[in-house]
Amino acid sequence: MVAAGGYRIGMIFPPVHGVAPESAPDPMSVAFAQARAAAARGEVPVGAVLLGPDGTIIARAGNRTEELRDPSAHAEMLVMRAATQARDGARLSDCTLYVTLEPCPMCAAAAVHFRVGRILFGAYDPKGGGVEHGPRLFARRDCLHRPETIGGLREREAAAMLRGFFRDRRDG
């Protein structure tokens, strides 16, 4: 499948120069690894990865809301904060955010302020999402910055991970 801008879904955005695409790490796989690590810590299994303009990973994180006792410590927030510190600047317009779940309204609003260039996410979140569901922040006329968004990457896998986590929590 070809996404806006001519990129194939699953390839690194933009291509890593000098590295064959098949040998470069798949950012969504890295995000899933972060989500699994979060689940192992008792966190909601959401993982995120932020790629720089050359396709290298600048930051990766899983949710840490319980560990840090901080309701804003979502994976997306953590990688955006880490990336701006690593890059010595608050603008991420040349970066791509991969996340296993549709960003919530808080994370979507933060992506606007950080000026994230692209957001690719796994499972849609009809109850808590802020991109394709809920307030649909990027579709608002008064939105200051609209990142390119692509949803549904490995959607079934992401949704199954979340369902399993909440089922185990409920039944356990």
Residue 76 bears catalytic tag: yes
Residue bearing tokens 């990457």: 153
**Contact yes or no for 147/117 (Cβ under 8 A):** yes
Element (H, E) at 100: strand 96-101
Maximum CA pair distance of the chain? 49
Which of the residues 22, 67, 76, 155 is marked catalytic? 76
Closest CA to 49 of 63, 41, 61, 36: 61
- Residue 111 half-sphere exposure, CB side, CA atoms within 13 Å? 32
* Known binding-site residue numbers: 74, 104, 107
Give the residue from 24, 18, 165 showing the smallest Cα distance to 101.
165
Number of helices (H), then strands (E), in the chain: 5, 5
Comparing CA positions, the residue from 21, 63, 29 lying closest to residue 46 is 63
- Please report, in range form, the residues annotated as the binding site for Zn(2+): 74, 104, 107
Residues annotated catalytic, as ranges: 76
